[in-house]
Chain A
Amino acid sequence: MLFTFSFLLLFGQRHTVNGYVSDASSGERLIGATVVDTVSGFGAVTNNSGFYSLTLPDGNVGLQCSYVGYAASQTRVFSLNSDTLVSFIISENTHLQEVTVVGHQSVSSPNSVQMSAIEVPVQQIKGIPALAGEVDVIKALQLLPGVQSGSEGSAGLYVRGGGPDENLIMLDGVPLYNVNHMMGFFSVFNADAVKNVTLYKGNFPARFGSRLSSVVDVRQNDGNRVGWHGNVSIGLISAKINAEGPIPWNKQQLEQLRRGEKIERNATTFNISARRTYFDLFTAPIVGIISRRETNGDLNLRAGYYFYDFNAKITHLFTDDDKLSLTVYAGDDDIYFRVNHEGESENKTDRKTNAKFAWHWGNLLTALNWEHRFSPRIFSNTQLSYTRYRYDLRQQMAVTSSQNAMSATMNEQMEYRSFVGDLMLQTNFNFAPSPKHEMRWGANYIFHQFRPQVSALNFKVNGNQNIIDDDFSNIVNVDTTLTDGTINAHEASVYIEDTYTPWRWLKLNLGLRGSLYSVSGKTYPSFEPRVGIRALAMKDLSIKASYAYMSQYIHLLSNSSVSLPTDLWVPVTKNIVPMRSMQVAGGVSYNLLGQVELSVEGYYKKMLNLIEYKDGASFMGSTTGWEEKVCMGEGWSYGVEFLAQRTIGKVTGWIGYTWSRAWRLFNREDQQINYGKPFPAKYDREHDLSITVQWAVNKLVDLNATFVYGTGNRATLGTQVYYDPNTESEVAYVPERNNYLMPDYHRLDIGATFHYPLRRHPDMQSVWNVSVYNVYNNMNPFLLYSEDNVMYKVTLFPILPSVSYTFKF
């Protein structure tokens, strides 16, 4: 009897509550929302599908849901004696009165074992004043502690001393290889399409791998399930459109929509966003007019540059147990140049020239995702995806020379291409067997393909070669293709992690990830333990610690600090082994009055097998012999980060401060940099402060401001010059790499947003946004150089006002 009673206690007196958390206005399922039982204190967090599962002892239960930027739900009290479906619908809190919130807000709140992670509400991102008025997800992340931005205007992320290629940036769980437009001044993410952005700087959950320094998890909107909505906007450099809504399959669903009801079963939603810069539409014809006018019609020139992004997602909800979605992203940068010229050559022949130059680079991503709930305790997510980045440079020229009755034509075609692509299959499971355990496991396989460089060249001369111009007199007919070849690689990984709560005050996250990377006959295994500990010192105050081991199997070959489309991804080889990192972190997290999340964290990170380019090495789009041009070494970084973040109420924003150092050491034989002595990393910036504030004055006006201050970037400066008689030239003596600190960087941006609802249709509104970048016109240095014994700086962006208009429906 005692045994039976114990058996019942152990296995028979608990059940599972599970369900989804959704946004009240759109029906979007919310990621990272917290559901807590106020009676037992146990809680769960919604996964990427907005699903939670919480196994509790039978008896009285009081469930409350909270989410960053949203008001907490009412507590639902009931008696639990069977598996129960409890879903929550909560509302955004941005424009409401001040509220007192209880519960746990963000991914790294005091109750969560997760540390070194920050979730930024999309509404906050949209409120940050931006360069040229272009709201940018990556630029918002650069304002967080522990993240450096690199050079002025750059979209690169340098996280805790790591390089820009050490970040796993994903869109709906699929990696993107190049997230930069326009040399890195803007990122590829259209904020209108984004639902959720989470940055992990350390304490990486075991489900993440393949990069050393950070994970940026960007999730797209599924689409409004209640009605059709969208917006059209035009700004200083781009125009955007966004539309979302349900797709009714029958009259009944159409009627439900007309009544403003959410469709629960067999519901299909779509979300489409598109953005394109437009100034080339004006400048290209103007350039043509000017060229024709200046040359009396002899020269017709057309040139321009633009970029675009296209995001689309279709989601079909079969039942609460099954959801299928298709995500598509396409984006490109395009430079084009066309010229037609007629004239006379030096040898008095008539010459006509037609030339075209086109350079485009960008990403294509597509993912098919199936979510399935097996039971209240087991949830799965399976995805098949494809992502690729490529650049393609083409030049075509035809020159026709004619004299009397003779003519000849020279045709030239050149093409230069590069490509990297992944085909991936992954599956992930969530399992909540008991109140004390929340488990995840999964596996993935990735087929990588690298085509680093393909050059095709075709020269042909037809006709009477005697009248070919001097410029082309040495041409020999050529038809050739040069290539580095295609490199295929296979990557497979499995992981398991368990968030274990032995006692209420102690929570552990224990994870293990195993991966294999096979390329060119060489296989690299990796075992990556992950540990996170949270000790609740008192209500809303916790002490955390973590350890993470990471491996990375690919490198980005880049020649300079400016992000160029010719930056190339290459896999590890027999000689260039995978990069590894080990990071330990510790800190304190406190939720002040349920309104402000405070955290202080210290970290130390060690990185091995880093690559750096030998002095004078240049890639500029060619990988030929790249292994001979790099050195392998190590790096280490350490620092302390402070963050105070408020995501609810009329005034939101954050203050982030970082003190940090980052070092590099390359002292292997024949691979020395800086004479084999340690040197500061390029973006080693000791102090970094960011303050961003958004104030919802009332329903019609929002004000916002951002202030940043940081130690200047580092540069390598030759402090002495001398004469070398062997070369008869002046040479700069460089005592140490990255030895000079540029002047400190600081800037203030302000903005205001005005909402004008339409009288007859209050759900439609006109929105004007006015912002000023670098309000007090501080001349921050982008480059330094000396001339005539005077040092100069080049400033990229002085004060830059911008305005944009959006129509919301």
Chain B
Amino acid sequence: MKIKYFILPLVLLLLAIPSCKTEVNYKGEITEPLLVVFADAVTNGFPKVTVSKSAFFLNKINREGTDTINYKPYLLADALVQYSVNNGEWISMTYDAKEESYLPDYKTASRLQPDDKLTVSVSHPDFPSTSASQLMPEKVDIDPVEVKVYDKINNKGDTFCEYHLTYHIYPSEDKTLVGRLSLQDSYLNDLPLMSNDILFQELNYDINNQNWREIIGTVFSFEEDELEDYREHLDFRMSEIPESGKDIVVVTRAPIAVVNDKVERKLKGVITNCYFYSAETYLYLNSMRKYKGTSTGMLGLEEKVQVYGNFSNGTIGCLTAKSYITYITMFKEE
């Protein structure tokens, strides 16, 4: 039972009984917009940079019918965006209207390698120039060691299976990295799913005699009506992994079959994603998680969270660097 689910409504109820709401004039400083840069880089991939500007909170343009910012008017397509690798020459990035981001020329650019020092620089006439740097994380070996699937658990006609996955995490020289394991049940009948995303070919692994294959690339992207069941992720620090490595066991359960649009789909397997984040990337992710966890906008009940950023000269945003590995475990049909 979450105590906070009782407390917060109770407090709000007590406050609401005699309270009144009235409009009030803002008496602080009306601040100017700031440059906002988010750059994402994946080891063995290419950087992608989104440039926009912020808005004063009392005159932002909202999406129609909502109180949430419409980001499109604030995108900046005329910035000078470049990146360099290991202090080498600057490589220009051009604005892609479809992606709404700045991308390199894939034909000529080289993929980012582990331990590369990536520097992203952005200039715009309306804002001070800014830059940020990150070391690209290495891809840490994690071996799926064991999968155990336990008897179905009957409960009023629904059947479940519980499976335990054990991964062996190998040590890394970069102790600042943070790993994140997340699981995703797969109910889809046909694999591969989206051909432009899938880089693996192996299917139908035998549960008791797996032949794992490392997957490099993006994870599956499902349509919204596809069935997915994301589990909570598990974070671990590479500084806590000894030289002999460490086994991590993840336990989860899922229904044997689910029905969507009157079509029954059986559990096919589980997808394991393991990300490795740089220290600053993890700070950003953690601060954003806390930001989303605080209550909405009411000044005075909870402290507002300052989201982490690493761009210079007062620019909002973060250059995030990560690597990842994806494993697919397919359950053999009985």
**Interface of A with B (CB < 8 Å)?**
151, 182-183, 335, 359, 393, 395, 414, 416, 457, 465-466, 468, 470, 473-474, 559-562, 564, 566, 613, 615-618, 620-622, 674-675, 713, 715-727, 729-735, 737, 739-743, 779, 781-798, 800
Contact = CB atoms under 8 A, between A and B. Distances in A.
Contacts of A787: 67, 297
Contacts, number: 213
B22 interface: yes
B54 to A, nearest CB: 4
B150 interface: no
A564 B11 contact: yes
B31 A719 contact: yes
B57 A720 contact: yes
B188 interface: no
Nearest to B74: A723
B259 interface: no
Given A722-B74, A734-B305, A788 B62 contact: yes
Interface in B286-334: 287-294, 296-307, 316, 320
A721 B60 contact: yes
Nearest to B57: A721
Given A783-B298, A783-B299, A720 B56 contact: yes
Given A468-B156, A566-B3, A734-B305, A183 B300 contact: no
The 8 closest A-B pairs by CB, nearest first: A616-B290, A723-B71, A715-B299, A620-B4, A722-B54, A720-B54, A621-B3, A615-B305
A743 B34 contact: no
Nearest to B30: A719
B24 A729 contact: no
Given A675-B306, A735-B31, 14 more contacts: A562-B301, A564-B11, A566-B7, A617-B290, A618-B302, A620-B7, A717-B299, A723-B52, A731-B291, A732-B57, A733-B316, A739-B28, A790-B23, A791-B58
Nearest to B160: A474
A457 B305 CA distance: 33
B312 to A, nearest CB: 13
Interface stretch (B13-21, B88-96, B239-247): B13-21
Contacts of B316: 720, 722, 733
Nearest to B59: A789
Contact of A796 (B19, B101, B287): B19
B74 A416 contact: no
Contacts of A732: 57, 297, 304
Contacts of A470: 156
Interface in B127-160: 155-156, 158
A183 B68 CA distance: 33
Contact of A715 (B100, B156, B300): B300
A183 B306 CA distance: 28
B38 interface: yes
Given A793-B21, A795-B20, A723 B69 contact: yes
A722 B34 CA distance: 9
Interface in B201-255: none
Contacts of A416: 1, 3
B117 to A, nearest CB: 22
Nearest to B99: A725
A795 B28 contact: no
Contacts of A726: 38, 40, 288, 320
A734 B306 contact: yes
B27 interface: yes
Contacts of A335: 10
Contact of A789 (B24, B25, B58): B58
24 contacts: A473-B155, A561-B300, A562-B301, A615-B290, A616-B305, A618-B293, A620-B2, A622-B3, A716-B303, A716-B304, A721-B54, A722-B36, A722-B316, A724-B288, A727-B292, A731-B291, A733-B316, A785-B299, A786-B58, A790-B58, A792-B21, A793-B21, A794-B21, A798-B18
Contacts of A561: 300-301
A779 B300 contact: no
Contacts of B28: 717, 719, 739-741
B299 A466 contact: no
Given A466-B156, A720-B34, A793-B22, A564 B7 contact: yes
B77 interface: no
A729 B292 CA distance: 10
B3 A620 contact: yes
A391 to B, nearest CB: 10
Contacts of B296: 785
Contacts of A729: 68, 292
B50 interface: yes
B27 A183 contact: no
B24 A791 contact: yes
A713 B300 CA distance: 9
A560 B4 CA distance: 12
B26 interface: yes
B161 interface: no
A788 B62 CA distance: 8
B287 A616 contact: yes
B156 A465 contact: yes
A735 B33 CA distance: 12
A468 B156 CA distance: 8
B29 interface: yes
B57 A786 contact: yes
B44 to A, nearest CB: 19
Given A466-B156, A615-B290, A741 B27 contact: yes
Contacts of A792: 21-24
B85 interface: no
A408 B40 CA distance: 55
B300 A737 contact: no
B74 to A, nearest CB: 7
A730 B69 contact: yes
A393 B10 CA distance: 14
Given A562-B301, A732-B304, A722 B69 contact: yes
A613 B31 CA distance: 28
A722 B33 CA distance: 9
Contacts of A781: 24
A787 B68 CA distance: 10
Contacts of A468: 156
Given A785-B297, A792-B21, A743 B27 contact: yes
Nearest to A672: B306
A794 B20 contact: yes
A151 B300 contact: yes
B165 interface: no
Interface in B173-209: none
Contacts of B33: 720
A100 to B, nearest CB: 46
Contact of A786 (B2, B38, B297, B302): B297
Interface string B33-67: 11010101000000000101111111110100001
A621 B299 contact: no
A785 B292 CA distance: 16
Contacts of A473: 155-156, 158
Nearest to A800: B18
Contact of B38 (A560, A725, A797): A725
Nearest to A730: B69
Nearest to A682: B303
Nearest to B14: A183
Given A616-B293, A719-B29, A796-B18, A727 B58 contact: no
